[in-house]
Amino acid sequence: VELDEEYGELAREKGVVAYERVPALGVSDGYIKTLAQLTLDALKGPCGLKPPCGERICPTEFGKCPNRIEANV
């Protein structure tokens, strides 16, 4: 999908006053290094779905939260 052209046109058709696309991070050195570090950090701990802080961050009233379901809470 061409975000600038196709979605820009769709936005204009729908009456959107301003449609701006922020450039993607792509291959930015900082982005790649951070993504690599997050991956390495995740591999150090037990497998499974978890937020970066290591604790479940979903409030208990959100019963369908994947973090809660995997923890069987």
Map out the domains of the chain as residue ranges: 3-71
Write phi, then psi, for 11 (nearest 5 degrees). Answer: -60, -45
Write phi, then psi, for 38 (nearest 5 degrees). Answer: -60, -40
How confident is the model over 20-34, as pLDDT tens digits? 888 877 788 998 999
Cβ atoms of 30 and 13 within 8 Å: the answer is no
Residue 23 CB-half CA count within 13 A: 5
Distance CA 25, CA 32 (A): 9
Global pTM exceeds 0.75: no
Amino acid at 63: G
pLDDT of residue 68: 60
Out of 7-16, 21-30, 38-47, least confident range = 38-47
